[in-house]
Every structure is written in structure tokens, then in C-alpha cells.
Amino acid sequence: MKKIAVITSGGDAPGMNAGIRAVVRTAIFHNMEVVGIRRGYDGFIDGDFIPMDTNSVSDIIQRGGTLLKTSRSERFRTKEGMLEARRKANEAEIEGIVLIGGDGTFKGADEFSEVSGIPSMGIPGTIDNDLFGTDFTIGYDTALNTVIEAVDKIRDTATSHHRLFFVEVMGRDAGFIALNGGIGSGAEDILIPEIRTSIDDVVSRIDAGRKRNKSSFIIIVAEGDIPGGAFEIAKQVKEKYNYFETRVTVIGHMQRGGSPTCFDRILASRLGVAATEGLIAGRKNEMAGLINNQIAFTPFSKTCKQLVDPNNEALLQMARMLGS
Ligand code: F6P
């Protein structure tokens, strides 16, 4: 193998740049050429490639976003899109690809490999932490730190005004950011889609807290908990219990940005090296992940989709005990 490509695809995540850097420098160390595919799969179809060398990844390990840009490509889901990408890859003499993204990215890569015969390896880049085959995805730790920083600030105003806050966090249909962001910020309650909580339960915990002289509350709501998210939960709670003045904050895309934490930089570096060296050694269509602090390879077809295990309510109960 003489030439590989690196691509970021799907939602960006802090640490993707550290991953790009690891892929490029590992490939160069092994005497290979590297091209960057810009704008995710859309850029792949358009042949939007740039040659990369050691200098092109200088000064990026600390930056959020992705130097290569990204997209959620509809065109790559079509046969025509894949065939066009294959044509562009063959023209550029790309013999292997390292992908940084989530389950949609890996699903696309599996299909592309069948269409093109070009092998690829992946590393998990998403703030949602929702992939099988790794204990942590790149960007998740940074997003958690963004959540706790935001909630700490909301806590100041909640306490000053004796208010009840519902804070919505990202995660799509997974509750990892809500659960662990809630524990880390000392939230009074956490609502996640995998372990449903009735509005009556939420209300009774708020009321019990008030009777213990609690004067403010933070309830973290995973965006996928119910349709309408935190606004809908707040409305339903208010219909049953209107003691506290209530506010809703949606942290939103702030969770996707910012300088990656040290944890995410190290994770992206280790996985970027493992995926690239795996590709060189002949592995294909697998994601390099970290399980029990060891590198583990999982076929793309098995990476989708990890949710908080509903049989394990212990963490949620612990959070509620500590937040009571
Ligand atoms: O998958 C990452 C994520 O940030 C989810 O948590 C969220 O539901 C989604 O992407 C938002 O997507 P978009 O940036 O396309 O609005």
C-alpha cells in the first residue's frame, strides 16, 4: 500500500483533529503518501482531495472541529454517489481509507468497500459515545466537560433565584452525556431515553427535595428522552407541580465545539495510530476502539449502536441519591 486517504464524516467532535494528525503522521512514518478528503463523503464524491504532509497537521492537536471539514452526505447513500466516489478514489490512486466518524460513517464505509474493493479502517469520532466496540468515543469527554461547565454556571443563577431548571443535553437517542454530565454536575435528577422516568416520579422527587429545604433544582434531560425534549418535560411537570419558577436551557451545539480535553487527544492519537497501522497490516472494515484501556478492533457492521444499558440502573440511582 502506497497511498491512503483520511476523512472526517458526520457530526464533528472535539479530538477529530488529533485523530487526523495521528493518521497522517503514522502513514508518513511508514513511508506512505496521504491525502485528506475534505467535506466528508460529499467531498469524496466531488474529488475534493488535498495532499497532506507532516506540516499540514502541525498546531491542530488542540483545536476543535475538523481541519478537513465534514458533512452528513445524502448523495453517498445512493449507488451513483458511491460509484462516483470510487472513480475519484481510483483516479487519485487511493488504496486505503481511514475514517473518523460515527455509525453512519462506518455503515457507508462498509457499503463503499463492497462497491470499490478499497479497504478502510475507522476510529470513533462522536460526542454521543453511542458505538459498540469502544468504551469511549472521541469528543465525548470534551462534551461532558462542556456540560458540567455550563451546568455549574446555571447552578449559580438557579440558586440565586430559587428556580427549577431543566437543562437539555445532546446525545441523539443515547443518554450517556445526560447520565454522566448529570453525575459530574451534581444534578438533582437525570432523564434518559433508555430508562424511562414518569412525570409523577420527577414531581415527587422535586417535592421531597423542597420538603428538605432544597430551594433550587437542576434536572438534566437527554434530548432523546421524549419528543419535545426539556421544553416538553418542563411543561408536563408544571401542569402537576407549580411551586418553583421554571426555566429551560438547551446547551445545544456548544457541546460539539471547543478545545479537546487531554483524554480525547490521547484517545484520538492512540486510535489513529492503531487504525492506520491496522490498515497497513491488511485489516479492513473495522473500527479501532479502546476497551479496558486496550486497543480492540470491531467490524463496522457491529459498531451500531450502543445505548445506556437499561438493566443497569445503578448509576442513575446513585446520581439521584447523591443529588437528593
Ligand atoms: O451525533 C452528534 C450530535 O451532536 C447529536 O448529539 C445530535 O443529536 C446531532 O448530532 C445534531 O446534529 P446536527 O448538527 O446535524 O444538528
The per-residue pLDDT for range 64-119, each reduced to its tens digit, is 999 999 999 999 999 999 999 999 999 999 999 999 999 999 999 999 999 999 99
Q: Is 128 a catalytic residue?
A: yes
pLDDT of residue 15: 98
Cβ–ligand 1 distance for 11 under 6 Å, the answer: yes
Distance 208 CA to ligand 1 centre (A): 35
At 133, list the grid cell. 466496540
Q: Which of 140, 168, 170, 303 to mutate to test the pocket of ligand 1 (most atoms within 8 A of CB)?
A: 170
pTM of full prediction above 0.95: yes
Determine contact, residues 144/176, Cβ cutoff 8 Å: no
At 59, list the grid cell. 498546531
Cβ–ligand 1 distance for 249 under 6 Å, the answer: no
Q: Which of 16, 106, 127, 306 to mutate to test the pocket of ligand 1 (most atoms within 8 A of CB)?
A: 127
Distance 172 CA to ligand 1 centre (A): 7
Task: Report the distance separating Cα 61 and Cα 305, nearest Å.
Answer: 28
Greatest CA separation for the chain: 71
Over residues 109-142, the pLDDT tens digits come to 999 999 999 999 999 999 999 999 999 999 999 9
Task: Report the distance separating Cα 208 and Cα 213, nearest Å.
Answer: 9
Alpha carbon nearest to ligand 1 atom 13, residue: 11
Task: Report the distance separating Cα 204 and Cα 245, nearest Å.
Answer: 17
Strands 33-37 and 49-52: antiparallel
At 35, list the grid cell. 491525502
Q: For the chain, where do the domains classified as CATH 3.40.50.450 start and end?
A: 3-139+260-302
**pLDDT value at 311 more than 90:** no
Determine contact, residues 5/275, Cβ cutoff 8 Å: no
Determine contact, residues 14/126, Cβ cutoff 8 Å: no
State the average pLDDT for the chain: 97
Q: Which fold has domain 3-139+260-302?
A: Rossmann fold (3.40.50)
Q: Which one of the listed residues 103, 128, 141, 189 is annotated catalytic?
A: 128
Q: For the chain, where do the domains classified as CATH 3.40.50.460 start and end?
A: 143-256
pLDDT of residue 312: 80
Distance 11 CA to ligand 1 centre (A): 6
Domain 143-256 sits in which CATH superfamily? Phosphofructokinase domain (3.40.50.460)
Determine contact, residues 125/139, Cβ cutoff 8 Å: yes
Determine contact, residues 16/24, Cβ cutoff 8 Å: no
